[in-house]
Each structure stands twice: as structure tokens, then as C-alpha cells.
């Protein structure tokens, strides 16, 4: 089974040595929407579930607001093990984990992929800026990909709370697209 293979993975020596556990993903196998983030944080590493810290709680709340409960959404990260000290994953770690993510997406075969933050958008679209791609659907190898802000950006605020507003808009669009 794919999840068992991922849990046994040691392709990134530092991450394999420092993680508490591999955070494979969550949600039903027939989810129409797959949310993709970057990498687990401390709470995710402890619990084995993606997006359960502050960002995850905000994601859950916003999903509820648009009428799509988290229980109906699959959530994965492009990198399945926590980088120590919450540093960014390295290029090679992201590359090492890419085949796992590709296989997860093939198995889930969702109607829509919603990427959170620049790193997840870049995973699908290549080097870009979030401002250039967010809020629109992109076709990537036959898959519909909708990039949006990371909930952490919405929590940080910013000018007039724009990230929160855009995140809400993009989640509402995602729900319409998978309805």
C-alpha cells in the first residue's frame, strides 16, 4: 500500500532521522478536492495529520464557511516529513518526495487540486509568483489546479487582510468547481 511505503521512506536522511513520523495525508480516498500544502510543522509531526496547527484550524473554519467540511477533503503536503526547526524543505527534499506526491494524486484522482502558498503552487506550475497565478484554474498534465494563499499568510494579516479575503474567495470558487 502506498501509505505504508511512504511511512517507511528514508530518502531524505536528515528528515528521516529527526521526524517523529511521516505525515502521509488525510481525508477520504474519493475526495473531489485535494488540498496541497508544503510540509508538516511541529503539531503535524506529533499527530501524523496534515494541517492541524493554527493554519489547519483556520482552513477547517473557512472550509466550513463555504459548506465543504474538512472530512470530505483530502489534504497532503508536497514534502511528507517535518524539516527540523520548521526550516523550508530543500530542493532535493522536495524532489525526493515528488514521486510520492505524484502517486498520491494519481490514486486520489480529484476533480480539483487547491494549492496553499507559493511552494505548493510552484510544485505544479514551476517558478512563479502567487500574485500571477492565484484565483485561477490552471491545467497541469490533465489536472485542474487552483492556487491560493497559505492560511498562515491569512493569519499574518497584511494590508487590509487581503490574503484572508482572497483565500475565502478561492475556497468558494473551489467549492463551485467540485459541486
Using an 8 Å Cβ cutoff, are 23 and 104 in contact? no
Minimum CB–partner distance for residue 84 and ligand SF4 (Å): 12
Using rule CB under 6 A, residue 93 touches ligand SF4: yes
Give the list of residues 6+ apart from residue 107 with CB closer than 8 angstroms, or none. Answer: 2, 29
Does the footprint of ligand SF4 cover residue 120 (CB under 6 A)?
A: no
* 95 touches ligand SF4 by CB under 6 A: no
Task: Please check whether residue 35 is in contact with residue 75, taking contact to mean a CB–CB distance below 8 angstroms.
Answer: yes
Count residues near ligand SF4 (CB under 6 A): 15
Nearer to ligand SF4, 92 or 165 (CB): 92
Min CB(94)–ligand SF4 separation in Å: 8
- What residues pair up with 73 in beta bridges, in sequence order? 33
Sequential DSSP letters for 41-98: -HHHHHHS-SS-SHHHHHHHHHHHHTT--GGGEEEEESS-SPPGGGPPPPHHHHHHHH
Check residue 174 for interaction with ligand SF4 (CB under 6 A): no
Per CB under 6 A, 6 contacts ligand SF4: yes
Total number of residues shown for the chain? 179
- Which span (59-67, 79-87, 141-149, 160-168) binds ligand SF4, by CB under 6 A? 79-87
Choices 30-38, 57-65, 74-82, 160-168; region in contact with ligand SF4 by CB under 6 A:
74-82
Which residues 6+ apart lie within 8 Å of 67 measured at CB? 175
The single residue among 16, 71, 88, 132 that binds ligand SF4, judged by CB under 6 A, is 16
Q: Is residue 33 within a helix (H) or strand (E), and if so which, with residue range?
A: strand 33-37
Query: Applying CB under 6 A, which part among 14-22, 103-111, 124-132, 134-142 lies near ligand SF4?
Result: 14-22
Residue ranges in contact with ligand SF4 by CB under 6 A: 6, 9-12, 15-16, 22, 79-81, 93, 96-97, 100
Amino acid at each position: 500500500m502506498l501509505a505504508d511505503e511512504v511511512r517507511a521512506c528514508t530518502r531524505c536522511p536528515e528528515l528521516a532521522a529527526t521526524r517523529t513520523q511521516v505525515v502521509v495525508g488525510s481525508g477520504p480516498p474519493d475526495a473531489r478536492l485535494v488540498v496541497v500544502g508544503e510540509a508538516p510543522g511541529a503539531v503535524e509531526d506529533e499527530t501524523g495529520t496534515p494541517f492541524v496547527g493554527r493554519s489547519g484550524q483556520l482552513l477547517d473554519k473557512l472550509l466550513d464557511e463555504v459548506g465543504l467540511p474538512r472530512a470530505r477533503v483530502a489534504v497532503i503536503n508536497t514534502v511528507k516529513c517535518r524539516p527540523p526547526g520548521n526550516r523550508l524543505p530543500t530542493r532535493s527534499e522536495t524532489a525526493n518526495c515528488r514521486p510520492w506526491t505524484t502517486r498520491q494524486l494519481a490514486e486520489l484522482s480529484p476533480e480539483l487540486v487547491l494549492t496553499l502558498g507559493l511552494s505548493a503552487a510552484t510544485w505544479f506550475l514551476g517558478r512563479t509568483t502567487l500574485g500571477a497565478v492565484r484565483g485561477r484554474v490552471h491545467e497541469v498534465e490533465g489536472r485542474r489546479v487552483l492556487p491560493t494563499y497559505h492560511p498562515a499568510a491569512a493569519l499574518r494579516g497584511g494590508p487590509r487582510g487581503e490574503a484572508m479575503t482572497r483565500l475565502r474567495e478561492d475556497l468558494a470558487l473551489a467549492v463551485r468547481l467540485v459541486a
